[in-house]
Structure 1
Amino acid sequence: MHEALLGRLVVCVGESYVLTSPDDQAPYMTDWRGRYHGSAYAVVRPSDVAQVSSVMRLCHELGVGVVPQGGNTGLCGGATPREDDAVIVLALDRLKAVRAIDPVDNTMLVEAGCTLAQIQLAAEGADRLFPLSLASEGSCQIGGNIATNAGGVHVVRYGNTRQQVLGLEVVLPDGTVWNGLRSLLKDNTGYDLKQLFIGSEGTLGVITAATLRLMARPKQRAVAWLAVTDPQAALALLGAARDRLGERVSAFELISQNALDVVLRHIPGARLPLAQNPPWSVLLEVSDVAADTRLDEALEALAADAFESGLVSDAAIAASVAQCEALWALRENISEAQRIEGLSIKHDVSLPVSVIPAFLESAERALAADYPAARIVAFGHMGDGNLHYNISSVDATQNAALIAQTEAVNRCVHDIVAGFDGSISAEHGIGQLKREELVRYKSTVELALMRRIKEAIDPRGLMNPGKVLPDS
């Protein structure tokens, strides 16, 4: 069956686009963090939706699983095949056309393999903004962003990926193409089917194209790095910023001292933005579509008042685009710096914004009691309640022993998250990493409904096996 499969795949997409050698397959078999490694009969690179449909029909006929893969920048192993599964990897990188931009309707029709940076640039060319922004935007692809419902730094103002998608084109497990590429803001004609595929991590079908919402492009932007004493002060600063600047607050990032230390240690050219590295920092960005307001002055006034009230002890406000980018680089390079430093136990949690200080205090206290050598690297999108809460050993030689206790550490952190009515996955998804955790934190009703949806759309269980849903 293996040889017959390969021969028929060549007919579908061409010999050059069926990769079978270990060297050619290697970049597709390991996730970005290097945690998951897998194998596949082949890596198949179709060029359009017709070829995707042909490949899916063939795999459905032969009972071969399909692992859809975009830019392979995911953090939970959701796009990595497992060892010894009978699967192909379906790489969407050749579907990279921007089919249309409509500045009147404020929409853009793009194929799944377009990188996020490519989409942002195309929107800018039409004097519009596509607001999704991630550290991996130069290599992540929009199909993967949609399949994982990616978040990023501007959710506080614009919402996550789900809010940016008006329509989808999806190839179903049996090869059927569903064309739902509508551009309507209002469409109450039954179930909103696109929502099933957004965030489904390729377990229901293959996203091949999308109609995206565009926004007015901001004409000015101001960025500040602010030192705060603790998360409670950061929370009060967030409230003050929203009261004064309203929807112009486009990002509000909380960064711990340990998180900034890792960047300064491992990223060439990274410089401390203030005289000292404070216990906690806030990276605040504001933007405005109007060109005639003095946004920099408004941000300076906010910082001055926060200093007077004791919320802020020091501040650096960018005076140029280059300085804005330098401040953002400190935040965006935290994950890369951690990857360089070595393995850590990572958590991507979501909480009501109001309880973030209480969660941080509770989690630190619990971890200190059971893992006194643990070092917490906490940072994230405080404006929308999303924290990246990562744990490693202060002593690098002891880190392997701590990593071996990942399950217990996860249970400690996730139980506290659940106690605050939070979520164990805010924006990274479930993938392979958290699928068994769902049993503890999803109700039996939710799990049963999810399984029934999966069985209805993918009755043979061929789509991205071993991801999201735990074993029955």
Structure 2
Amino acid sequence: MLNGVTDEFEAGLRAGLPKAAFRPLTAKYLQEPRGRYSGVCGLLLTPENVDEVSTIVRACAAACIGVVPYGGGTGLVGGQVMPDGPAPVILSLERMNTVRDVWPDENVLVAEAGTILQDVQMAAEGVGRLFPLTLAAQGSCQIGGNLATNAGGVNVLRYGNARALCLGLEAVLPSGEIWHGLKRLRKDNTGYDLRDLLIGAEGTLGVITAASLRLFPRPVDEGAALMVVGSPAQALALLGLAQDHCAEAVSAFELINGMGLRFLAETMPDVRLPFAETPEWMVLVDLGVARGQDAAAMLEALFVEAHERGLVSDGLVAQNAAQRAQFWAVREGIPAANKRVGSIASHDISVPLSVIPEFIARGGVALARLGDFRINCFGHLGDGNLHYNMFPQRGQSRDDYADLRGEITEVVHDLVAELGGSFSAEHGVGRMKVADLARYADPAKLAMMRRIKAAFDPAGIMNPGVLF
């Protein structure tokens, strides 16, 4: 049973921590982007280093007080706020925002957990390297939160999730012990991989305080193309052809539905749409190539062969960086347009690549039995991750469908499970999808997860209510 923060507990911490570690609790730390959860008030602490984090967590362990790690606050499944229970410690690492060191020759950068993702990207760029994790929230999300949720983004096809970009961690365990695991090694077969255990654990097994991150050579030339396809099946065939033509140069391969473009026209008319007539399906292909290669020429050759095979009917190849940015503005504007329209139910799912066309076809038929929705299906086709969202018809509000939200999600997630997929591809479980984890997870997996949680955190102080 957890206890709440008391004046006595706070006084004890004030005796052992500098004044700067204490800040007034504002609404920012009690909200999440979708507005579905509001956190209970607690004690906000902003430590400056790992020793201060250790002091805080050790005190919470002794007093059996919950710890809610708070990063950039951009998570979409409620993992950053605790909506009920005794007043917790809200632990923000925003002051731990230093890039500690960079080894360009090793392609390694060490950053503290509170470092903004965009600052990590810029630090890598400053030494002629690339840190490829790219998210819509990169101007405000923090690398510790990215690792805690194993963030994905648009470059997973080429570079992998956040887990694949991390070599080592520094972390504070639920006991308050510090794990000094900031290694820069590619190979280290010395027992259990605690790094991979903490990555994706959503703060339930400890607090990540710093990370050794993998860097990559920067592409010498980059290019993008928008290609109109007749169906998701043709988009999938185009992906295979693109990889045959361009191999590992394919950095991103995004599926875009006509509904997303119509939402942009409806809510964000300043975004320039690429085609005079809105296609039902198109893809955004992005390349990053090495010296001696020409990204635009490779994309043009890809289009020619794809057109000859009947896979594409129209297309645009960016001729410069500005045009490439315009193409990406279309893709990156879709989530913002979705938000303005107001979704009834949103889903972050993944299925094996070969069954994506079947999922899209069957999903539309199953949902039509429940009601008349506008469906916007888009996302990272290259890694099988789709954002599959339902919206009200024009003239209606999302509130008109509120009683259907749970049934819609059940239909979508049941189909995903039947096809061997995941109900959470990149957003995590948080608090929003705890029931989904209990419903769809393999029983043996869930049992192992519970045993790991009990071994690391027997008192259950770390991010209570997340995952379990």
TM above 0.5, yes or no, is yes
2:302 equivalent to 1:302? yes
Q: Deviations over 1:290-337 (max 9, x none)?
A: 2x2222111011112222332112112112212211211211222222
* Residue equivalent to 1:7: 11
Give me the TM-score of the superposition, normalised by structure 1.
0.95
Query: Does the CA-based 8 Å contact 2:343-2:392 persist in structure 1?
Result: no
1:398 deviation in Å? 4.4
Query: Does the CA-based 8 Å contact 2:376-2:389 persist in structure 1?
Result: yes
* Residue equivalent to 2:135: 134
Q: How many pairs are equivalent?
A: 464
Query: Does the CA-based 8 Å contact 1:38-1:83 persist in structure 2?
Result: yes
SS of match in other structure, 1:437:
helix
1:274 deviation in Å? 1.4
* Residue equivalent to 1:342: 342
Q: Distance in 2 between matches of 1:430 and 1:335?
A: 20
2:461 equivalent to 1:457? no
Which residue type is aligned with residue 376 of structure 1?
A: I
Query: Does the CA-based 8 Å contact 1:228-1:313 persist in structure 2?
Result: yes
Which runs of structure 2 are paired with 1:382-421 in the superposition (5 Å)?
Answer: 382-395=381-394, 397-421=396-420
Q: Distance in 1 between matches of 2:449 and 2:385?
A: 24
SS of match in other structure, 2:197:
helix
Which residue type is aligned with residue 65 of structure 1?
A: G
Which residue type is aligned with residue 414 of structure 1?
A: H
Query: Does the CA-based 8 Å contact 2:21-2:48 persist in structure 1?
Result: no
Q: Which range moves more in the overlay, 425-434 or 10-19?
A: 10-19
* Residue equivalent to 1:320: 320
Q: Distance in 2 between matches of 1:317 and 1:310?
A: 18
Which residue type is aligned with residue 442 of structure 1?
A: A
Which residue type is aligned with residue 169 of structure 1?
A: E
Query: Does the CA-based 8 Å contact 2:370-2:408 persist in structure 1?
Result: no
Q: Distance in 1 between matches of 2:396 and 2:13?
A: 48
Change (3 A) 1:17 1:419: same
Which residue type is aligned with residue 177 of structure 1?
A: I
1:240 deviation in Å? 0.8
Q: Deviations over 1:369-417 (max 9, x none)?
A: 222x111111110000000101122145342132332221111001111
Residue ranges of structure 1 left out of the alignment (5+ in a row): none
Change (3 A) 1:6 1:270: same
Q: Distance in 2 between matches of 1:232 and 1:216?
A: 33
Q: Distance in 2 between matches of 1:106 and 1:250?
A: 19
Change (3 A) 1:396 1:9: farther
Q: Deviations over 1:333-383 (max 9, x none)?
A: 222222222243111111111110111001011001222x11111111000
Which residue type is aligned with residue 317 of structure 1?
A: V
1:268 deviation in Å? 5.5
Residue ranges of structure 2 left out of the alignment (5+ in a row): none
Change (3 A) 1:276 1:459: same
2:190 equivalent to 1:189? yes
2:23 alignment partner, one of 10, 13, 19? 19
* Residue equivalent to 2:248: 247
Q: Distance in 2 between matches of 1:370 and 1:410?
A: 11
Give me the TM-score of the superposition, normalised by structure 2.
0.96
Which runs of structure 2 are paired with 1:14-413 in the superposition (5 Å)?
Answer: 14-20=18-24, 24-267=25-268, 269-290=270-291, 292-371=292-371, 373-395=372-394, 397-413=396-412
Query: Does the CA-based 8 Å contact 1:57-1:175 persist in structure 2?
Result: yes
Query: Does the CA-based 8 Å contact 2:344-2:405 persist in structure 1?
Result: no
Query: Does the CA-based 8 Å contact 1:392-1:402 persist in structure 2?
Result: no
Q: Distance in 2 between matches of 1:13 and 1:260?
A: 52
SS of match in other structure, 2:59:
helix
* Residue equivalent to 2:447: 448
Query: Does the CA-based 8 Å contact 1:345-1:403 persist in structure 2?
Result: no
Which runs of structure 2 are paired with 1:419-430 in the superposition (5 Å)?
Answer: 419-430=418-429
Which residue type is aligned with residue 322 of structure 2?
A: A
Q: Deviations over 1:23-71 (max 9, x none)?
A: x420111101222111131221111111111111111111110010111
Q: CA RMSD in A?
A: 1.4
Identity %: 46
SS of match in other structure, 2:435:
coil
Q: Deviations over 1:59-117 (max 9, x none)?
A: 11111100101111111111112134331211111111001111121111110011111
SS of match in other structure, 1:67:
strand
SS of match in other structure, 2:340:
helix
Q: Distance in 1 between matches of 2:386 and 2:6?
A: 44
